[in-house]
């Protein structure tokens, strides 16, 4: 297991080398897809703030941190997305990192839960709420607090907003794709559908704010350059990771799931999509 690190002491500041490592926040990084994101990003020299419910139970993540290309490029932070207090406390710790000059380029909201089965005709109030708190409300409020925290530090020369906010959603939440034979996924699908709709609103609200800021910036500039450029725009994405062999997918189903892939392939392909999306602002 890697040596325990103190988060705010370990994350290196951006350096002026030819390779510009990006910094990522990954919410839900202890296992599965979130762990694999951390592994691939740290292996290529990026910086990762890996956020987990319980750092003491994240043995695989500590190991991944220890194998990072750049020693100290990964730090672990605590946050249970179903607890508002945890989200606010994480935002406060994030302020400390920003104050030290850390710039966040990408945020991945990956935490999720699937308690199978979760049928609309059977699910308890508590289990339905658990899906909604973990898969919808938690990720949205987390993203909101991270954005607010970064915005409170922003100025053209200090901390720009993150370039990309990426929600790991699911095709189960698609409004157009309803697979009638996939019994037992009602609450999970509903939680991802609600996530999709909410993040569309988030994207639209961010775009409107950016347009208003650009308009304000142009008014203030007489014959000079507009400081807030189009390529500062923040891109909000929802990704379906594929059918991925993780703990979440380890359930006995009455039907054959086709095309199951391993987490490394899922993350490799998602990183390609993330890089292309929003690349032109």
Residue ranges in contact with ligand NDP by CB under 6 A: 28, 30-34, 52-54, 80-82, 110-113, 134, 138, 168, 170, 240-241, 243-244, 246-249
Q: How far is the CB of 111 from ligand NDP (least distance, A)?
A: 3
> Which CB, 184 or 241, lies closer to ligand NDP?
241
> Which CB, 27 or 159, lies closer to ligand NDP?
27
Q: What length is written for the chain? A: 281
Q: How far is the CB of 219 from ligand NDP (least distance, A)?
A: 42
> Which CB, 10 or 196, lies closer to ligand NDP?
196
**What's the angle, vertex CA 57, arms to CA 73 and CA 9, rounded to 5?**
30
Q: In degrees to the nearest 10, what's the CA dihedral of 74, 168, 140, 8?
A: 0
In whole angstroms, give the CA distance from residue 85 to residue 235: 27
DSSP per-residue codes, 187-242: HHHHHHHHHHHHHHHHHHHHHHHHHHHHHHHHHH-SSS--SS-GGG--EEEEE---
178 dihedral zone (left: phi>0; alpha: psi -120 to 50; beta): beta
Angle between helices 59-66 and 32-43 (to 10 degrees): 10
Q: How far is the CB of 49 from ligand NDP (least distance, A)?
A: 14
> Which CB, 135 or 159, lies closer to ligand NDP?
135
Q: How far is the CB of 79 from ligand NDP (least distance, A)?
A: 6
> Which CB, 134 or 159, lies closer to ligand NDP?
134
Q: How far is the CB of 73 from ligand NDP (least distance, A)?
A: 20
> Which CB, 132 or 206, lies closer to ligand NDP?
132
Tell me the two tokens of residue 239.
Answer: 């990704």
Q: How far is the CB of 168 from ligand NDP (least distance, A)?
A: 4
């Amino acid at each position: 297991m890697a040596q325990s690190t103190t988060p705010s002491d370990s994350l290196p500041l951006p350096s002026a080398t030819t390779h510009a490592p990006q910094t990522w926040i990954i919410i839900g990084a202890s296992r599965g897809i979130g762990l694999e994101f951390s592994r691939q990003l740290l292996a290529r020299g990026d910086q990762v703030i890996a956020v987990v419910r319980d750092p003491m139970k994240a043995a695989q993540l500590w190991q991944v941190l220890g194998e990072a290309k750049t020693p100290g490029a990964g730090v672990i932070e605590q946050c249970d997305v179903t607890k508002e207090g945890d989200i606010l406390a994480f935002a406060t710790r994030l302020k400390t990192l920003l104050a030290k000059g850390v710039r966040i380029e990408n945020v991945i909201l990956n935490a999720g839960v699937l308690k199978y089965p979760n049928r609309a005709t059977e699910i308890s109030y508590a289990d339905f709420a658990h899906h909604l708190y973990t898969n919808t409300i938690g990720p949205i409020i987390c993203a909101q607090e991270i954005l607010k925290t970064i915005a409170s530090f922003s100025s053209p020369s200090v901390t720009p907003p993150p370039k990309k906010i990426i929600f790991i959603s699911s095709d189960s939440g698609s409004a157009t794709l309803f697979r009638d034979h996939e019994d037992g996924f009602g609450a999970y699908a509903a939680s991802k559908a609600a996530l999709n709709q909410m993040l569309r609103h988030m994207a639209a609200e961010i775009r409107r704010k950016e347009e208003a800021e650009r308009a304000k910036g142009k008014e203030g500039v007489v014959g000079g350059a507009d400081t807030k450029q189009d390529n500062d725009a923040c891109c909000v994405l929802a990704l379906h990771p594929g059918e991925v062999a993780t703990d979440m997918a380890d359930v006995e189903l009455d039907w054959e799931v086709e095309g199951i892939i391993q987490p490394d392939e899922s993350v490799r392909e998602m990183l390609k999509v993330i890089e292309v999306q929003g690349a032109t602002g």
